[in-house]
Amino acid sequence: MDTLLSVSHVSYSYHTLSGETPALSDITFSVKEGEFLSIVGPSGCGKSTLLRMIGGLDTATSGKIVIQDRDIIGPGADRGMVFQSYTLFPWMTVGDNIKFGLKLRKMPADQQEEILNKYLKIIKLEKFRDSYPRELSGGMKQRVAIARALANSPEVLLMDEPFSALDPQTKADMQLLMRQIWQEEKPTVIFVTHDIEEAVFLSSKIYVLTQRPGTVKAEVPVLLPYNRDLSLKDTDEFIELRRKVNQLIEHESLS
């Protein structure tokens, strides 16, 4: 697989009344096309800030982020984002939310419908295309948000703790759906989470960040079966890998 995105010696500091507060320091890593990369670390280590910089919502204090040889200097259609909070337009139906980016691009209506029907089927919400967000559960809203992001065919999908507000059963269902989408569609995904079990289940690779100012402490390949279901979480291989990542983070929290 070819490298799609690279983060090179990126640092970030907040401007405060008392001066500069470093949040990230000398972050360097790369993401290959079709990879599912998760970023984990102790609370406050800068995971979401790093994702926002990749999304072009924040600007690095130093270093650079490149996607397909293009410097990231702001938001762009080449990156789709799914946040923890539900970001659907409440006045639009499910179908219109998913087609929003396609309409902005003035895509022909028949192509919009083809893409909409494809993703309604993938997220199993065909019967809800004319429903409004207020009529959906939290898990259903996040399914629509994921479909809206993927419908625009971004080069990389950025996900910032998208399932953290869901109840345990819905969260497990969403993890399984996301893994199935990745196995079938092969999007390149960068996924930020506090949930180590979630990161191990979903990912092909995990980066562990240090305490603030966050930097890359470890790169952990996830050498588990490609086809996964929730029973994988009960296997010795899964439990051992989850323990390894937990120990890396616990050591940071105690240091």
Is the pLDDT assigned to residue 253 strictly greater than 70? no
Percent of the chain with pLDDT strictly greater than 90: 89
Please name which of 109, 28, 17 lies closest in space to residue 64, comparing C-alpha atoms. Answer: 28
Is the pLDDT assigned to residue 201 strictly greater than 60? yes
* Residue 184 CB-half CA count within 13 A: 12
Mean pLDDT of the chain: 94
Q: What are the respective helix, strand and coil percentages of the chain, to the nearest 5?
A: 40, 25, 35
Is the pLDDT assigned to residue 134 strictly greater than 90? yes
Distant-in-sequence, close-in-space partners of 210: CB < 8 Å, separation ≥ 6:
41, 42, 45, 216, 217, 252
Q: What is the pLDDT of residue 17?
A: 79
Query: Mean pLDDT across the stretch 171-176?
Result: 95
Q: Which of 81-85, 226-230, 248-252 has the highest mean pLDDT?
A: 226-230
Q: Which amino acid is at 241?
A: L
Query: Mean pLDDT across the stretch 218-235?
Result: 96
Q: What is the pLDDT of residue 20?
A: 82
pLDDT interval class at 86 (50, 70, 90): confident
Is the pLDDT assigned to residue 255 strictly greater than 60? no
Q: What is the pLDDT of residue 150?
A: 94
Q: What is the pLDDT of residue 254?
A: 61
In DSSP terms, 81 is beta-bridged to 158
Query: Mean pLDDT across the stretch 198-212?
Result: 96
